[in-house]
Structure 1
């Protein structure tokens, strides 16, 4: 795909939505492999890797969430950045909720027009268009969703997102999604798995961030993104968000 063709977005035309719906019904979640047309997937992977100015998002126990835009993140000193990492890790070590990862807030960027020509603006429009929303409706059976919120995320070495269920008092979140756009040969040893937990805290399912896979799951479900190992050579790139009711 030509680098200037930033408006294109195609799902994989060979997806068997009826079969995927049967799989989803069994557990309320699914990993759809080869979800997008390969040109679409490779194009947006390139956008995340080379054309996205990443900010930093984190939460330290009850403090947060916090988010910095790209310029503010770049202005952090090494000691300031390390302090955020240390405090987030300490909170998790004490059994509190926490996360740290790089983020590009797609909805805010779109509404505030941070960069009107940025390809992620077009992607947000496509995620709120009928082909993508109909895929979610048909696979999950949740017919009421009419919009999708989205953020671009990059989990680099040392990043994590602890266990939570995505329930939010203000947003009518029905289905969560993770569109994985990291390198095709992501190794299991690098971490960054989307993990789901049973009532006893056991990992019931762990999903590798496979390139061009779309994870869908009903809200609420207890899940996390596992710690990305220090030796991981690249970041775990993804588009994440929720399909929501009016």
Structure 2
């Protein structure tokens, strides 16, 4: 695949979502390895590595996002950049906080903004019948209507604190994370952690390459901070499955 070309995206033909429905119903979450064909996973990973429209997303409290382009970050002195992130994250409140890079694919399309061919291909893939039917068969939920999507990139120190993905009037049914980080280990951080009522980690999903994590909304979860052991970014394609 040449730089700038749209990836070829296809689900793995050996998937058995009907057989996994009972496990998903019991636990309200599931880790599905090898979700895409090998070629699709390689090309999608390449698209994210080559993408140039990342923004640094910093969130202090509900409804308070700060998006900073890479050009704006590069123009800042390192000390000023670190101070900015710390000033927004180091808060005494218990609201959700996060720092990571993203490309807001669906929201940019809905706003009439420019989206690259690879990013448009990702949006079209998650809204194609094959992807949505996979979720209907896995969950048995006939309310499923559409998906939204964004690309994410976690660098060293990036994280997302505990939250449940609830958003009034958004009609989110399920969240999904398609992981695209080759050779990732748990000690590199970036683990999708599900928390119990006592705040303990009930279960954690390492971001295995070409694995899909799916869970019902609401469900309290967090992403652990990426450690300095990580030699490459933690890439993923993520979003929500919505009712009509």
Q: Does TM, scored on the shorter chain, surpass 0.5?
A: yes
Maintained 8 Å contact 1:107/1:149: yes
Name 1:133's counterpart in structure 2.
132
State how far apart, in whole Å, the 2-side matches of 1:172 and 1:231 are: 38
Note if contact 1:152-1:238 (Cα within 8 Å) is conserved in structure 2. Answer: yes
In structure 1, what is the equivalent of residue 15 of structure 2? 15
Gaps spanning 5+ residues in structure 2: where? none
* Alignment pair present for 1:159 and 2:120: no
Distance 1:88 1:229, change over 3 A: farther
1:142 Cα offset (Å): 2.0
Instruction: Report deviation, 1:16.
Output: 1.2
Match in the other structure for 1:146: 145
1:51-103 superposed Cα distances (whole Å, 9 cap, x missing partner):
34311101124671222344444444323321232224422x76442100001
TM-score by length of 2: 0.92
Structure-2 residue corresponding to 1:49? 49
Question: Following TM superposition, by how much is the alpha carbon of 1:6 offset from its aligned partner in structure 2, in angstroms?
Answer: 2.0
Inter-CA distance 90–24: structure 2 relative to 1 (3 Å threshold):
same
Alignment check: 8 A CA contact 1:106 1:124 kept = yes
TM-score, L = length of structure 1? 0.91
Q: Which runs of 5+ in 1 are unaligned?
A: none
Q: CA deviation at 1:162?
A: 0.2
Q: Show the counterpart of 1:82.
A: 82
Contact preservation (8 Å) 1:61, 1:88: no
Distance 1:109 1:72, change over 3 A: farther
Residue of structure 1 in register with 2:168 after alignment: 169
- Asked if the contact 1:182–1:235 (Cα under 8 Å) also holds between the matched residues in 2, the reply is yes
Change (3 A) 1:45 1:107: same
Change (3 A) 1:62 1:28: closer
Residue aligning to 2:6: 6
* 1:28 and 1:140 in contact (8 A); partners too: no
CA gap 1:136/1:164 in 2 versus in 1, 3 angstroms: same
Contact kept? 2:195, 2:202, Cα under 8 Å = yes
Structure 1 counterpart of 2:199: 201
